[in-house]
Amino acid sequence: MALPEWTVYLLCIASVCGGFYICRVVKCARKSAWKNSQIAKLMARSEKPLFWIAYSLYTRTKLGYIFHKRQMKKARERYPTGHSRAQPTIINGIKIIPVPILLDNYSYVVIDTASNTAVVVDPADPQPVQACLEAEGVALQAVLCTHKHWDHSGGNRALKRRYSSCRVYGNAMDNIPGLTHPLLDKDTIDFGTQLHFRAFYTPGHTVGHMIYLLDGRAIGGPSSLFSGDLVFLSGCGRMFEGNASTMLSSLDTVGSLNDDTLLWPGHEYAEDNLLFAADVEPGNVVREQKLQWVLQQRSQRLCTCPSTLLEEKQYNPFLRSHSQDLHQALGLQQKQDEDWTSYRARVLEELRRRKDIYKDR
Q: Exactly one of 68, 196, 267, 327 is catalytic; which is it? A: 267
Nearest 5°: phi and psi at 195?
Answer: -95, 100
Q: Exactly one of 112, 151, 174, 272 is catalytic; which is it? A: 151
Nearest 5°: phi and psi at 15?
Answer: -65, -30
Active-site residue, 205 included: yes
Active-site residue, 149 included: yes
* CA nearest to 109, candidates 84, 87, 129: 129
Question: What's the gap between Cα 269 and its chain centre?
Answer: 9
SS3 call for 149: coil
CB 319 within 8 A of CB 313: yes
User: Please, what is the Cα angle at 355 between 280 and 15, to 5 degrees?
Assistant: 160
Instruction: Give the separation between CA 342 and CA 319, rounded to whole angstroms.
Output: 15
CB atoms within 10 A of CB 217: 9
Q: Exactly one of 68, 83, 149, 327 is catalytic; which is it? A: 149
CB atoms within 10 A of CB 33: 9
Instruction: Give the separation between CA 200 and CA 189, rounded to whole angstroms.
Output: 12
CB 125 within 8 A of CB 107: yes
Nearest 5°: phi and psi at 248?
Answer: -60, -45
Instruction: Give the separation between CA 186 and CA 256, rounded to whole angstroms.
Output: 14
SS3 call for 110: strand
Q: Exactly one of 68, 83, 152, 196 is catalytic; which is it? A: 152
Question: What is the edge-to-edge ordering of all strands in the sheet holding 181-182?
Answer: 89-91, 94-101, 105-112, 117-121, 139-144, 167-170, 181-182
Instruction: Give the separation between CA 94 and CA 262, rounded to whole angstroms.
Output: 13
Instruction: Give the separation between CA 222 and CA 67, rounded to whole angstroms.
Output: 38
Active-site residue, 259 included: no
Active-site residue, 196 included: no
CB 318 within 8 A of CB 274: no
Q: Exactly one of 205, 209, 272, 327 is catalytic; which is it? A: 205
Start-to-end CA distance of the chain, whole Å, equals: 6
Q: Exactly one of 68, 147, 196, 327 is catalytic; which is it? A: 147
Task: Report the catalytic residues.
Answer: 147, 149, 151-152, 205, 229, 267
